[in-house]
Structures are given as structure tokens and as C-alpha cells.
Amino acid sequence: MKSKKLLSGMLTLGMLSLSTVGAFAVDSEEVRLISAPADVIPISAEIIPIKAPINELEQARFYSFRGTVKEINDHWSIEGAKFISLENEDGEPANVIISDSTYVEGEKEFTVGMELTIFYDGTKPMIMIYPPQYSAKVVVVDQGDKFVKVDYFDENLVSIDNNLKLNISEKTEIINEDGQAYEGELANKYLTVIYDVTTRSIPAQTNPLKVIVLDMEEEAIENPVEEIEIPKSYTNEEGITMVPLRWVAEKQGFTVKWNGEEQSITLNEESILKIGETEYNVSPEEKRKIETAPVLKDGTTFVPLSFFENRLSE
């Protein structure tokens, strides 16, 4: 199905504070940096284990949220996806969509009580609601005394935020998202890096334990996006946030057509929704479920906010 490029607009129903959580570690015993390859200049800086957790970290493209799994459900419209509710140490909640395109590091079977750190692409359009909802690109199950960083690394294997430089050793495991050994270049790519100790330098240097090469589109990082207040939204009796279909769709670059006789709405000549029906046509060959059926109220068609969250994550 052809999809029209969405505008990078953020939609918000009110003030929302986003928390991001960075790498994490605990005390470790005496450590040393693994010997660097011959073509890497040895590091003379002091090697130290990092003892305190980093509470907040804003990365160039990826943001993160760390929390405890409170509830796990199958996603209502994305086949094979999970909809997981998390709560961080400050009691702040977040909902996360984990799909087949999400890379999971660690245990693949999620359970209530498990500690997860999720990384999501902060440059993609996002509808901002409370609790916030993220489409995870990377999920890391609690790594104990190890750190995790997801970022773009340049030709010198320095992260784009200049906080970490990689010195690859023979012991570094390097794979792609499918878990297969990766033998290509790591420079100028988005990487998930698992490591334990760093040097006391700027940037900090490490011999990573594991590197996962992410399958990412090579696109420019966009400027911060505009927040837009959605008018006329309301919460139905089931507690589902309903938003005006035409207003939100046109803000996101869709064309919208109303068929009064069939009580249907067509987006981009492709997706067709009908008043009162909980399935809609993505294309003539494919149908998907919607969280709750569209309703017509005072001449305006309303759909669940999750409909747009799903469309924006495609």
C-alpha cells in the first residue's frame, strides 16, 4: 500500500511532561579495558566503573523510558504486537507498542514485574496523550551492571552527542537485528551498544561487549516538531479518547472524503472507515481492527486517538 508521507506534527491534548531515562549500571568489582586492536591508539585515561545511575539522557534521535511492566495485552490492530503498560520509579506511567519491527535485547517473553528500557525515535510524528504512548524501536530487558546506548555513530565511532567513543575489540559481539553476525562497517550507522566500563574522558571510551546494527532509514534528523492542540476531543463511556477525524487527518497530510449514503470516510483514496464498525479497510485486500467504532456527533466524525497513533507508527 502506498502511503503518503506524514507531516512531522505533534498533537497534544494538554500539557505533558516526558521523562527520558538513560543508561544504567550498579557497582562492579575492579575492571580493566579490553586491549584495543593494533590500529587503535591505547587509552591512557583512568578506567572506572560507573557507580551511579543516570536519571535523564536526551539523545540526538532516540529517547528512552525505563519502567516496570504493569500490564501486557495483545495490540488490538497490529498483528503480533504487544501493548505494554510501564511505570517508572517516580510512578509515572507510559504505554509502549512492541511490534515485529522492534529489536529486543534479552528475554523475549515479557512478564509483569519485568524491568524494561525502551528506546523510541523522537523525530517521528507522535500524538501526545497521557499516559504517553511510544512505538519502541529497541527494548532492553534489565541488563544489571551494564549500560545501553542507542545512537548514531560517526566515522570515528563517536556518538552524535559526543558522549561515547567505541573501541572495537576481538571480544566484541557484532550482530544485526536478526541476530546474525555482522561483518560490515560500523561507521555512520545507528547502533545499539551494550557496554560496562568507560574511561574518564570526553568523550568517554569503551570496548563494547555487544553492538547491534539497527536497520534505520538514512534520513536527516528533523527539527523539533510543533505541538498542536486538538479541538473538540472527548472521552467516551469506555474511557477512550475520541478525536475529530477530519481535523486530525488533514493536519497530518491525509485527504479526507465523506460518503453520506454509506456513512463512510476515505483517507488518501485507500483507508475506508464506516460509522459504527470496528474494522476498517487499509486497502481492498486488507482489514484492521480499530479500538472502538467511529461515531458521528453533531455533524463531526470522531475516532479513537489510538487510530492515528497506529497510522503514524507505520
pLDDT tens for 56-67 read: 334 468 899 999
Contact 32, 153 (CB under 8 A): no
Stretch 54-82: mean pLDDT: 76
Contact 70, 88 (CB under 8 A): no
Q: Where are the alpha helices (DSSP H) in the chain?
A: 245-251, 305-312
SS3 246: helix
Query: Does residue 42 have a pLDDT over 50?
Result: no
Mean pLDDT, all residues of the chain: 76
Pick the CATH number of 7-229 from 3.40.1260.20, 2.40.50.140, 3.40.190.10, 1.10.1040.10: 2.40.50.140
Confidence of residue 163 (pLDDT cuts 50, 70, 90): very high
Contact 139, 116 (CB under 8 A): yes
Query: Does residue 193 have a pLDDT over 50?
Result: yes
Domain boundaries, the chain: 7-229, 230-312
d(CA 165, CA 280): 48
Residue 56: alpha-carbon gap to chain centroid:
16
Query: Does residue 208 have a pLDDT over 90?
Result: yes
Query: Does residue 19 have a pLDDT over 70?
Result: no
Residue type (1 letter), 280: Y
Superfamily of domain 230-312: Copper amine oxidase-like, N-terminal domain (3.30.457.10)
CA distances from 279 to 128, 167, 255, 274 (A): 24, 51, 20, 8
pLDDT at 65: 93
Nearest Cα to 190, choosing from 301, 38, 59, 65?
59
Phi-psi category of 280—alpha, beta or left, where left has phi over 0 and alpha has psi -120 to 50?
beta
Nearest Cα to 90, choosing from 112, 66, 64, 114?
66
For residue 271, list its beta bridge partners: 267
pTM: 0.60
